Amino acid sequence: MGDHFFSAEPQSADVRRTVEARIWDKPYVFTTATGVFSRDRLDIGTSVLLRSVDAPTGPGTFLDLGCGYGPIACALAVEAPEATVWAVDVNNRALELAELNAKAAGVGDRVRAALPDDVPDDVRFDQLWSNPAIHIGKAELHKMLLHWLGRLAPGGVGWFVVGKNLGGDSLQRWMTDQGYPCTRVASAKGFRVLRATNAGPAPS
């Protein structure tokens, strides 16, 4: 099995570099590394997502699902200074970088980098942001999304970016069929930006 960005412990040498990005009109410098998703730049899908959706500004508990080195998590915490942001990934190197980048952005006290199983069961999210790892396969993707969509607070919103040729339209229909009404809010550079909501009661 080759080394993937969704490996728990990347086997590649930990070679680090920095990348610059502008998110919601603010400049960032992120530390990235080999073995982590899109280490050479802010990937196009994430850029499309962040350009298509306004930054949240109020209080709340947010989730960056599949956070990588943490650009979404950092930007959410900067834009919403009263929010707590969970940065979740299966890749321990990515989590280390997300924590490092959050500290560099001045939001290390409000970004909580964690493995999926380390997020307390009682935490509910007002917003979920994700450029999901489609390449883990449809069955695993659906399992992952159902788990985290189920942890949206009543009225909570999930924002997703998915390549059109990787099933963005079918994923929109699937989330709606699962009880999370989903609409397309933007389409650019071959990507769909989707908005899913939890209209039901909180999970027991």
Q: What is the pLDDT of residues 95-144, one digit of tens each?
A: 999 999 999 999 999 999 999 999 999 999 999 999 987 777 888 999 99
Tell me the pairing of strands 191-197 and 182-188: antiparallel
Q: How far apart are CA 86 and CA 68, in angstroms?
A: 12
Reported confidence tier of residue 1, pLDDT bands at 50, 70, 90: very low
Q: Which helix (H) or strand (E) holds 158?
A: strand 152-163
Q: How far apart are CA 161 and CA 79, in angstroms?
A: 20
Helix (H, G, I), strand (E, B) or coil at 180: coil
What's the CATH number for 16-197? 3.40.50.150
Chain segment 134-187, per-residue pLDDT in tens: 777 888 999 999 999 999 999 999 999 998 776 668 889 999 999 999 999 998
Neighbours of 1 (CB within 10 A): 5
pTM confidence score = 0.88
The tokens describing 21, both together, are 């990005």
